[in-house]
Structure 1
Amino acid sequence: MTFKTFTRHMAVSAIALGAMAVSAAADGELRLYNWSNYFSPELLEKFEKDTGIKTTIDSYASEEDLLAKLQAGGGGYDVIFPGTTTLGIMVDKGLLADIGVNKMENFGNLLPAFHTIAGDEERTYSAPYMWGTTGFTYDPAMVPGGKLDESWKELFEPRPELKGKIAMLNEMSDVWNAAAYYTGVDKCTEDPKEAQKILDVLMAQKPDVKLYSNDGTIDRMIAGEVPVHMQWNGAAHRVKAKKPDAVYVYPKEGTTFWTDVMAVPKDAPNMENAKTFINWMMLPENAAAASNYTGYSNAVKGSGEFLTDSLKGDPAVNTPEEFNDRLVPYKACSPASKDLREKVWTKLKS
């Protein structure tokens, strides 16, 4: 799906935003490449108004698609939104531009915990966009007894009433990680026997899965097409806006904690405009607008005052303290481990 293109031009050379200024050309273009439904059209419109830069956005269905696009030449995009796993690969392969994020005017607005990230420890290639978790959401009105256990077992060994009705994400890392947590296998294992355990769980589950999809997870749950959906927490928040009784689960075996970033392909045609955009996104009001739309948390200090009350009060977004020990951060896996993961995924999807 391609978002609406906004075409207004404003003859401005610099815009003052609060105590900080964002300098940009009075014209020019910017092309974004992001997940579908993961950036506010109104925020793009605001960026155009503030900078005069005509901005368009296209979407990809998976990080594998994003990586393939960059390896094939980048497709003429200026800003991309990879996750931590793909970010490290892109840096290693020399696919990204060193844009000196840590020297940008608004870098000081970031929370200290986000001053570094695996794969880009100095924060020269990337700035944080959204961060969140991967668990699952269910509709109490559609599940036996109105409640499911806080366990991946509900997806990998579904109750008889839910067989054939489970929806999974179509994201290799998220699915592999969940199965690894459930089987007690290190998600960075290099042991083929342990990888086989993960494959066995996924293959046994496959007949019970209605579909694997990253797109439409929100609408699918709201429409009642499935009772249970592996889901990112921001999507769960948006489901709850329409279905307040929906429950987001942090599985007790482990819940992936992730960060998505903004980065620039090395051959981006509008490099300076890309830098302007990333610096602009590190302003509290803009980061909050992105959070309010996506339902995910951001990494910018001072953005809290601009967040909606529903976002502040949703445990799917603001993880309850008692679940903190369930959160499993990103771990850089070896090439041998990644190779096993890809083989398992290929067999699962064949």
Structure 2
Amino acid sequence: MKNMLKTGASALALSLLATMASAEGKLSLYHWFEYIPQEVLDKFAAEYDVEVTMDTYDSNEALLAALKAGKLGQYDLAVPGDYMVEIMGKEGMLDTFDPSEMSNFGNIQQEWVDVTFDPGRKSSIPYQWGSTSFAVNRDVYPGDIQTLGMIFNPPEELKGKINVLDTSGETLTLASMYLGIPQCTSDRDQLKALNELVQTAKPDWASFGSDVAKDVLVSGDAAAGMIWNGFSAKAREEGANIEYAFPKEGYIVWMDNVVLLKDAPNRDNAIKFMNFLLEPENAAAVTNYAQYTAGVKGVEPFLDEAVKSAPELNPPSGGKTAFVQACPEEVQKVYDTIWTNLKK
């Protein structure tokens, strides 16, 4: 009986060790859609003998909602935009690390090290940065497009043929820029004007869609659409006769970041993957695929010539730009109401 107990205990111990070893070989990502090439994931998996799984989302707000709804603790890493990093930090959703845990931490470009949304980079590393504006089909509308009026007060040729990103942060920020009012305003008249602008423009919009923003321009289902610059470059490469605008009222710039999530089930592998993404060749592989811009030193030799010369990645000098801001809670509730009513 003792031998049987001993044998049973040994088997249980071996089983537990096997389970632990298996868990140590995993990495779970929560990532934007169509934003990382499979070969980068495969390269990491082979190099570190790690099984990589990935689920996707289509907006910063969708990411936040999913984590609040119970997905926190299921994923190791996520890729929120700048303002969402700040929000997630305040919500207690992020873990921290020491820069010394990553041998490639010094590869981060200096302007992206000490950022307001994560001072000193204690919970995040830069991923890719770019802009949010809109693109117009030049077969449908050949006139001047360098104004946000193309979206919020469109010419007849574009009415009913516009796709708008399904994200309140960017859509309402561009609307605020068009009106010339501050982000996160608490002024009642300004909030009323913002609400009236988007409600008046809504009948001219054909759809709200982030994951389809490229496809509807390529298919011709939309003649204009809010879009991220890299997605616009991809649409152009796929045959859409579009031009990406840098409107006079301004456009959004953003930095997406890889964050270490609270209660990450595979923290060590998460740190390894963050460090892996800070290698210039790997950062460049993401840029060549997604067609944005890396926040990592030394990527230039690895970039495709088409990416280097893409008009979407080379804005004119002197343009107005702004990051989306994380609003105070009481102000954000008003913006949430405006957005909810707009989507009805």
**TM-score, structure 2 length as denominator?**
0.89
CA distance in 2, matches of 1:222, 1:349: 24
Aligned runs of 1:292-331 on 2, under 5 Å? 292-321=288-317, 324-331=318-325
1:5 is aligned to: none
Specify which of 176, 179, 187 is matched with residue 175 of structure 2.
Answer: 179
CA distance in 2, matches of 1:332, 1:211: 26
Specify which of 322, 325, 328 is matched with residue 334 of structure 1.
Answer: 328
Aligned runs of 1:137-152 on 2, under 5 Å? 137-143=135-141, 146-152=142-148
> Which aligned runs of 4 or more in structure 1 are off by greater than 6 angstroms?
none
Q: Which amino acid in the other structure matches residue 82 of structure 1?
A: P
**Aligned with 2:313: secondary structure?**
coil
Aligned runs of 1:37-186 on 2, under 5 Å? 37-73=34-70, 74=72, 76-101=74-99, 104-143=102-141, 146-186=142-182
2:195 is aligned to: 199
Point out where structure 1 has 5 or more consecutive residues left out of the alignment.
Answer: 1-24
Change in Cα spacing, 1:337 to 1:26, as seen in structure 2 (3 Å) is: closer
CA distance in 2, matches of 1:113, 1:205: 37
Specify which of 269, 273, 285 is matched with residue 277 of structure 1.
Answer: 273
Specify which of 330, 339, 342 is matched with residue 345 of structure 1.
Answer: 339
**TM-score, structure 1 length as denominator?**
0.88
User: C-alpha deviations, 1:287-331, integer Å up to 9, x for none?
Assistant: 00001111110101100111111110012113232xx43222344
2:233 is aligned to: 237
Change in Cα spacing, 1:336 to 1:157, as seen in structure 2 (3 Å) is: same
Q: Alpha-carbon deviation of 1:26?
A: 11
Change in Cα spacing, 1:309 to 1:26, as seen in structure 2 (3 Å) is: farther
User: C-alpha deviations, 1:109-147, integer Å up to 9, x for none?
Assistant: 01100002222112000001110111101111122xx23
Structure 1 position 28 matched with structure 2 position 22: no
**Aligned with 2:139: secondary structure?**
helix
CA distance in 1, matches of 2:337, 2:87: 18
CA distance in 2, matches of 1:253, 1:340: 24
CA distance in 2, matches of 1:102, 1:110: 13
CA RMSD, 1 decimal: 1.7
Q: Alpha-carbon deviation of 1:155?
A: 0.9
Change in Cα spacing, 1:103 to 1:113, as seen in structure 2 (3 Å) is: farther
**Aligned with 2:294: secondary structure?**
coil
CA distance in 1, matches of 2:99, 2:314: 27
Q: Alpha-carbon deviation of 1:338?
A: 1.7
Q: Alpha-carbon deviation of 1:159?
A: 1.2
Bigger CA drift: 114-123 or 272-281? 114-123
**Aligned with 2:293: secondary structure?**
coil
CA distance in 1, matches of 2:328, 2:73: 29
Q: Alpha-carbon deviation of 1:103?
A: 5.0
CA distance in 2, matches of 1:27, 1:139: 49
Q: Alpha-carbon deviation of 1:101?
A: 4.1
Change in Cα spacing, 1:284 to 1:198, as seen in structure 2 (3 Å) is: same
Q: Alpha-carbon deviation of 1:250?
A: 1.0
Aligned residue pairs, count: 322
**Aligned with 1:186: secondary structure?**
coil
**Aligned with 2:256: secondary structure?**
strand
Structure 1 position 259 matched with structure 2 position 255: yes
**Aligned with 2:132: secondary structure?**
strand
CA distance in 1, matches of 2:158, 2:67: 39
Q: Is the 1:85–1:332 contact (alpha carbons within 8 Å) kept by the matching residues of 2?
A: yes
Change in Cα spacing, 1:102 to 1:337, as seen in structure 2 (3 Å) is: farther
Q: Is the 1:69–1:75 contact (alpha carbons within 8 Å) kept by the matching residues of 2?
A: no
User: C-alpha deviations, 1:74-103, integer Å up to 9, x for none?
Assistant: 161111001111111111121111122465
Q: Is the 2:217–2:240 contact (alpha carbons within 8 Å) kept by the matching residues of 1?
A: no
User: C-alpha deviations, 1:215-256, integer Å up to 9, x for none?
Assistant: 121222111111101000010111121237421001110101
Q: Is the 1:32–1:58 contact (alpha carbons within 8 Å) kept by the matching residues of 2?
A: yes
Q: Higher helix share goes to which structure? A: 2
CA distance in 2, matches of 1:230, 1:334: 26
**Aligned with 1:142: secondary structure?**
coil
Change in Cα spacing, 1:97 to 1:160, as seen in structure 2 (3 Å) is: same
CA distance in 2, matches of 1:343, 1:186: 18
Point out where structure 2 has 5 or more consecutive residues left out of the alignment.
Answer: 1-21
